[in-house]
Amino acid sequence: MLRITVAQINPTVGDFAGNLALMRAAAEAAQRDGAELVVFPELSLTGYYPGDLLDEPAFLAAVDAALAELLAASRATPGLNWVIGAPTRRDGPGKPLFNSLLVIADGAVRLQYAKQLLPTYNIFDERRHFEPGPDANRVLRIGPWRIGFLICEDGWNDDGRDYVVNPFQRLAEAAPDLIVSINASPSNIGKREQRHRLFAAASRRHDLPLLYVNQVGGQDQLVFDGASFAVTPQDGVVFEARRFADDIRTLGFDGARFAAADGDALPTVDPAGLPVMAFYRQQIVLGLKDYARRCGFSRAVVGCSGGIDSALTLALAAEALGADNVTAITMPSRFSSAGSVDDSVTLCRNLGVQLITHPIRDMVDAYAGGFATAFGAPLAGLPLENLQARVRGTVLMEYSNNYGHLLLTTGNKSEISVGYCTLYGDTNGGLGLIGDLYKTEVFALSRHLNEAAGREIIPAAIIDKEPSAELAPDQRDTDSLPPYPVLDALLKVLVEGPRLGQDERAAVEAEYERLTASAEGAALVARIRGLIARNEYKRRQAPPILRLRARAFGSGRQMPIAARHLF
């Protein structure tokens, strides 16, 4: 029986010493388990994705040094084959870079394979830095077994259609006993199930077992969920590693089936996976943990308005970083309701988070008075509303600068889509936790947190109150926007479109068609389209947003600011 260790690790981009330490520890565990093969994720040596660091000579020199160190480390695990991901160069410095898979053992490279399909869609831009690899030998004999190797995207062209380049098909023609695929596959809602469907179908089509090893952890706006898995032609997905956590697991493979390291049967894999709200929660919590850790933050600060968005952001931050490491600041103005202030107190008491009160009325009056004196006109209406948000944003940035806290912005996807936010005000911050959640999902996730805790973490008064920015007398969000269930259905079609999951797309497209059937509804759709287009400049200046859905703002949706839109 071939013993294979799945090394689902959490590498950091550019942290060669840290990544090498993770790889050494996994290899040592593999050797203790008697494994012949230890498999790491794509670009595990550098972390995924290095971006334009790959253009830096010093970075590439560090890659070379780390590879040499890794080769030396492999001598300490005789007989163990390390399957790693790293950038390589053809024929030395100045030559094209490849996104490569290397099999190393006993201080030598036994196999080298360069990724052929380089994704350039959605969040990916690998063709910017790498050249496609040649259709080279990707099969290695380990004992009696012939193992074939792929890198991430190379396996995604095998869906039954006729492609010019299909590395999976070419590898299958070599008739290996097992295919091993190394991956850095970012997580979004429905992605795990998509992987399972695609690779289980390919396994059946070619009558080949497959092991898929994925990265875990948060890197900038991306979160990798791990969830490495094994499939067989007969049984589909038979093994799955932990989601949203490191996992080092040794499996047995007998040429047809996978088993636990001790030979026992593997636990049954739940095809349903996590419920949607549980998925959102875990993805956000891991994303914040790693973002803060990698950027050197141990504490966070959040502006606490008494509204649902800041309440959910605070609750998620407290879960990720610990309540003692989160500070809330409430900044009442003349338009803040007593209920909102009281709700902030209750929320922070429930969470165990420190709440600091910093009234802004005098500051707003001073700014407004100075404006009137200098420019001969009083501030009123929208400029006065925005001034309040900007004063709050300034206070939060002052606190962040002074105490070294990471400021978390609290905007949701509905408001960010249509520009219902104040640039240099509530858009201030270093990271957005809920910027890929629509407003209706913000409410749903808040209820989920309460249900999961079995108590009221986010007060019902916050969940049940009508949304309001509280920047003007008796203000309600519906003064400026359609009801959020209607708005969110439109936004899902207009922003995400075909990237929605099948069930979700059917529901929102039905609402979209109902609205556009009337002149009034068509006018509303046209207005929302215009708001989305006109507010690209705000989104371009906003902090990074943790990606939860297939099309998130940021690198996953690249729109021009200065353009004449055809609608």
How far is it, in rounded angstroms, from Cα 327 to Cα 429? 14
Check if 115 is active-site.
Answer: yes
Q: DSSP character for 555?
A: T
105 Cβ contact partners less than 8 Å away, ≥ 6 residues apart: 74, 79, 80, 81, 82
SS (H, E, C) 332-345: CCCCCCHHHHHHHH
Burial 76-108 (b: 16+ CB within 10 A, else e): ebeebbbbbbbbbbeeeeeeebbbbbbbbbeee
| Identified catalytic residue from 36, 42, 385, 536 | 42
Mark residue 51 as left, alpha or beta (left: phi above 0; alpha: psi -120 to 50; beta: remaining).
left
CA distance 333 to 347: 19
Give me the catalytic one of 36, 126, 131, 152.
152
* Angstrom distance (rounded) from CA 550 to CA 553: 10
Give the integer Cα–Cα distance in Å for 102 and 46. 13
Taking residue 70's Cβ as centre, other Cβ atoms within 10 Å add up to 23
- Per-residue DSSP letter, 565: -
**385 classed as catalytic:** no
Alpha helices in 150-216 (DSSP H): 167-173, 191-206
Cα→Cα distances 74→23, 71, 80, 139, Å? 10, 5, 8, 20
From first CA to last CA, the distance across the chain in angstroms is 62
Cβ contacts of residue 353 below 8 Å, gap of 6+? 314, 318, 323, 326, 327, 328, 347
SS3 assignment, position 427: coil
Retrieve residue 324's tokens.
């003692």
Judge whether 152 counts as a catalytic residue: yes
Does residue 326 contact residue 347 with C-beta atoms inside 8 Å?
Answer: no
**If you write DSSP's letter for every residue of 332-394 in order, what string do you get?**
--TT--HHHHHHHHHHHHHHT-EEEE---HHHHHHHHHHHHHHHSS---SHHHHHHHHHHHHH
Q: What are phi and psi of 426, to 5 degrees?
A: -75, -5
Classify strands 300-303 and 326-330 as parallel, antiparallel or unpaired: parallel
**Cα–Cα dist 6/250, whole Å:** 6
Catalytic residue among 115, 439, 492, 538: 115
CA 120 to each of CA 117, 275, 540: distance values in angstroms, whole numbers, following the listed order = 9, 30, 20
Q: Which residues have a catalytic role annotated?
A: 42, 115, 152
